[in-house]
Amino acid sequence: MRRFFQYLKYCFTSGYRHGFGIHSPYVYHLVTTIIEEDLPYYKYSLIEKIRAKMCRTDEKIGVYLPDGSKQLESIRKVVSKYAISPKYGQLLFRLVNYYKPDVVLEYGATCGISTMYLAAVNSKTSVFSLSAQPEMSDLAQSLFDRIGMHNIKKVVCADEEKVFDGVIDKMSQNDFFYINSASADEILHLARSRMDKFDERFFIVLPCPYASAEMWKTWETLKADNRVKVSINLFQLGILVANNDLQKEDYIVRY
């Protein structure tokens, strides 16, 4: 119920459809040419065929809950519950295609759908995927192998943040950081760690700013940071951009 009312709030406060009211050339291009693009890249259908097959699979795998307990869930239910939607998965693909990063880092990976969208853009781009879900990671790896996505480097660990600190030290200024799932406090720490590494240039994609009161507070804190020049709220995803050529602006874009 809370999510429904948050969506209504988003609908009433969002705008800038088709770029109307956007004065920044950078943001206008990002919204009209990348976010709203509707070209049917052939990789979309490949990934969605895999999703469809998984959604018909009743085989069970173990899923670790936030309290540390483990429960068995069917692959069909895991995909339905945790996988990114086609609309937002395809947006991730377009954002990576636009930003052309040297490295993509996904934190909190689940069953592999979002990872495939991130990796499908360029087979030469290394995609690091950190996950604390070993059985879901095994499932995802089998999918990557099946379709030949060998640029994905799965890292399964109990302490994702510790491994994250090691991975981010090896990353360059021109990287792409996507936080798939994490608590609001973790997201604040992770985003700030990335911002501290290269504060003059970053492109960070966060999960739904409306997911909880804590997540909304985290979103507000991050977008207020002086290093963030552009923040874009798309309801299911939030985007933070650093670029010294840009003025500080905040957008809630209807998507």
Quote the percentage of the chain above a pLDDT of 70. Answer: 96
Domains and CATH numbers, the chain: 2-42+83-252 (3.40.50.150)
Q: What is the pLDDT of residues 120-151, one digit of tens each?
A: 999 999 998 888 888 888 888 888 888 889 99
Is residue 111 within 8 Å of 82, Cβ to Cβ? yes
Predicted pLDDT of residue 58: 92
Q: What is the pLDDT of residues 209-254, one digit of tens each?
A: 999 999 999 999 999 999 999 999 999 999 999 988 899 999 999 9
Predicted pLDDT of residue 226: 93
Q: How far apart are CA 130 and CA 154, in angstroms?
A: 6
Assess whether pLDDT exceeds 70 at residue 161: no
Taking all residues of the chain, what is their mean pLDDT, rounded to a whole number?
89
For the CA atoms of 141, 145, 148, 150, what is the dihedral angle to 10 degrees? 60
pTM check: above 0.95: no
- Identify the sign of the CA torsion 242, 192, 233, 247: negative
Q: How far apart are CA 204 and CA 193, in angstroms?
A: 11
Predicted pLDDT of residue 223: 95
For the chain, the residue count is 255
Quote the percentage of the chain above a pLDDT of 90. Answer: 56
CA-nearest of 240, 247, 250 to 176 is 240
Q: What is the pLDDT of residues 83-111, one digit of tens each?
A: 999 999 999 999 999 999 988 999 988 88
Assess whether pLDDT exceeds 90 at residue 49: yes
